[in-house]
Structure 1
Amino acid sequence: MIQNLANTLLNQAILLTASDVHVIPAEAHYRILLRINGRLQFFASIPIDNGERLLAHLKYRGFMDISETRKPQSGAFQTDIQGRKVSVRLATIPNFRFIESMVIRVFSEQEIVPFQKSSIFQRITHHILSLAQKRTGLLLFSGATGSGKTSSMYSLAHSLSLQHPLQIITIEDPVERPMSAFLQVQINEKAGLDYADIIRATLRHDPDILIVGEIRDSHTAKMVIRSALTGHLVLSTVHADSTYGVLSRLLELGVDKEELRQCLIGISHQQLKHLHCMFCTSRCHALCNHLSQKRTALYEFIEKEQINDFLTTSVEIDLVSNINKQLKKGVCYGFFSP
């Protein structure tokens, strides 16, 4: 019964294109919510004992400690759903009563959207792709959590690999979406392998493109810069609220301005925006087949000239095509709801 419940839950998540499933304890039951197109939606309520058995079953499949409910845990497993390979990532955390909640992240193997088509405004995506084709330097992506930064990096690297065979190595914590075309390496801090250590090792593995999941600290930032200065194309993400905010963050981490001038080829900041559907009258419903792509990425981008000006003057220059202007343009064209 519990196995059937788990399989039904994962099937529904795939059917409704949910990115996450939340199993949250309440008074005498568990609430199950699905994150669809960036928003949480109520899905079901199950008795507390069924919820605990569901979590134990999923923890077992994810190679987690079933008996441990007082500490956060994480795990993962792969399965086949509706003829597709699906990667499932699990994370638990207990509340103050030591009753666990779980978030299940679901990644289905699906065709990657070409980077050029990731935005309805393709002029900027073509421009970013043309810069990346030089295959040297550092290209950074920023945006809020869930804004698609990792997907953009994967899509860009995949688009480049379609033109020529490339050795693409990713360094992630953890590996979220298995990709047969990439050599994916996972951080293992328990074994003493952090971002900086693995970056150093991968540089001896003759990469054409190096993808570093996130620049979190000074050591990683300096290793990423060093990789870009040695003639590799490096893609990475930085948590910042704007393109210029990325530069400020790197300077806070102690990166040298001259090194940034030499290696940075561009910084992208992005948002995901729901597309307007004429049949749903607003945002497109998960079960509506009218729009094959229900969200689009909006990018604002600065490149070498603007980067160097900011590093010299610390003055932000207004962007010709910022996200707010794209939103207004999209409303006028009927892509977005007013």
Structure 2
Amino acid sequence: MNDALSEGASDIHFSPGEKTVTIYFRINGYRWYYDKILIQAYQLLLSYYKFSTGMDIAEKRIPQNGTLLFNHSKGMYDLRLSTLPLKENESLAIRILSKQDFPDLDELFVFPKQAKELITWMENKAGIILLTGPTGSGKSTTMYTLLRASTQKHGYQAITLEDPVEQTIDNLLQVQVNEKAGFNYDIGLKAALRHDPDIIMVGEIRDQSTAKFAFRAALTGHLVISTIHAKNAVGTIARLTEMGLSKIDLQQSIIGIASQELIECERFSNGKSIMKRAAIAEMLHEHQLEAAIGGTPSHNIPGFESFSDLRRKAYALGYSTP
């Protein structure tokens, strides 16, 4: 853990072999070899972490997950742990989330203009904001940052529904969905609406029932923010249509869609130039959104910048490498 934090790792992976377990760090999106330990030492470590996070130590046939608070000289960290059953063993992955090092929205994006536009979306009293992209593209970080900025500025009552709660944040009512216990997103959303929220965050829209309920909440006067897996911004429209939402639902509910991708770019810290990952986003809003819902291809939407356009722009302005 000490080495992972000093290297700025976001994840630790334990990959079991026959006699040893290989440990990797995820740093700036890349997976680096760290060390090997004996399988016996790993079994003790795994049992300790499963017990500490409330997992079933005896259960090795199904995936499990849990969270743990880690106290370090640098501060407090939330650890999100997950196990995966293998033929002879279980693998373990640990996501490291800082409880004190919250970035500003400007720091997350290559282009500050995109960060400012997202903040303006949060000024709406009702509707739905969707953040899309593959796993590891920074959707959750952006969502948390937007929520934190909005609650601090306006004193909003914000309720989150998550599976699991990824990061504990002050002044947010964070509800952990537990599908095994029958507490799913549908039930959570119905309960949240009775709690007089200004903003509802749905960790992820995974299925038709969650999508329809989230959009219904947006139509009945609530601001909803959520993530959904889609290849790009325009592809999100097709994904929602597949989930049974009509064009009218989309037109009446969606404030904007931002599809994220992380690229390496130059940043300055204490006068030194360092390479870090930051987000570029395909963004659909107002007339561009109307065109996309109407079926206009992305290359024909006026003012729309695709990932390819944004990468070229970042390189041309000297922000990123070829």
Give the TM-score category using the shorter length.
Answer: over 0.9
Distance across 2 between alignment mates of 1:118 and 1:277: 11
Give RMSD over aligned pairs: 2.1
**Equivalent residue for 1:166, pick from 147, 150, 156:** 156
Query: Matches of residues 153-302 of structure 1 in structure 2 within 5 Å?
Result: 153-276=143-266, 290=272, 294-302=276-284
Q: Secondary structure at the match of 2:194?
A: helix
Please, what TM-score do these two structures have when normalized by structure 1? 0.89
Report how many residues are paired.
Answer: 320
Structure 2 gaps of 5+ residues are none
Larger deviation: 57-66 or 141-150? 57-66
1:29 lines up with 2:20 in the alignment: yes
Match of 1:145 in 2: 135
Distance across 2 between alignment mates of 1:208 and 1:61: 35
Distance across 1 between alignment mates of 2:148 and 2:66: 27
Q: Is the 8 A contact 1:142 1:246 kept in 2?
A: yes
TM-aligned CA deviation for residue 15 of structure 1: 1.9
Match of 1:19 in 2: 10
Q: Secondary structure at the match of 2:57?
A: coil
Match of 2:31 in 1: 40
Distance across 2 between alignment mates of 1:332 and 1:312: 32
1:65 lines up with 2:56 in the alignment: yes
Gap change, CA 1:277 and 1:195, over 3 Å in 2: closer
Distance across 1 between alignment mates of 2:17 and 2:317: 44
Q: Which amino acid aligns with 1:73?
A: Q
Q: Which amino acid aligns with 2:126?
A: T
Larger deviation: 117-126 or 261-270? 117-126
Q: Which amino acid aligns with 1:297?
A: A
1:130 lines up with 2:120 in the alignment: yes
Distance across 2 between alignment mates of 1:321 and 1:309: 14
TM-aligned CA deviation for residue 25 of structure 1: 0.9
Gap change, CA 1:150 and 1:245, over 3 Å in 2: same
**Equivalent residue for 1:320, pick from 289, 304, 321:** 304
Distance across 1 between alignment mates of 2:285 and 2:74: 43
Distance across 2 between alignment mates of 1:307 and 1:270: 16
Distance across 2 between alignment mates of 1:161 and 1:129: 12
Per-residue Cα deviation, 1:197-221 (whole angstroms, up to 9, x for no partner)? 1111111111111110111111100
Q: Which amino acid aligns with 1:324?
A: S
Q: Secondary structure at the match of 1:310?
A: helix
Distance across 2 between alignment mates of 1:134 and 1:185: 23
1:85 lines up with 2:76 in the alignment: yes
Gap change, CA 1:72 and 1:127, over 3 Å in 2: closer
TM-aligned CA deviation for residue 304 of structure 1: 2.7
Distance across 2 between alignment mates of 1:272 and 1:131: 21
Larger deviation: 189-198 or 268-277? 268-277
Distance across 2 between alignment mates of 1:254 and 1:246: 13
Q: Which amino acid aligns with 1:196?
A: D
Query: Matches of residues 2-17 of structure 1 in structure 2 within 5 Å?
Result: 10-17=1-8
Larger deviation: 291-300 or 20-29? 291-300
Gap change, CA 1:55 and 1:290, over 3 Å in 2: farther
Q: Which amino acid aligns with 1:256?
A: S
TM-aligned CA deviation for residue 88 of structure 1: 1.4
Gap change, CA 1:39 and 1:289, over 3 Å in 2: farther
Distance across 1 between alignment mates of 2:40 and 2:283: 50
Distance across 1 between alignment mates of 2:316 and 2:136: 26
Q: Is the 8 A contact 1:116 1:129 kept in 2?
A: no
Gap change, CA 1:294 and 1:181, over 3 Å in 2: farther
Q: Which amino acid aligns with 1:199?
A: L
Q: Is the 8 A contact 2:264 2:275 kept in 1?
A: no
Structure 1 gaps of 5+ residues are 1-9, 279-283
Identity %: 37
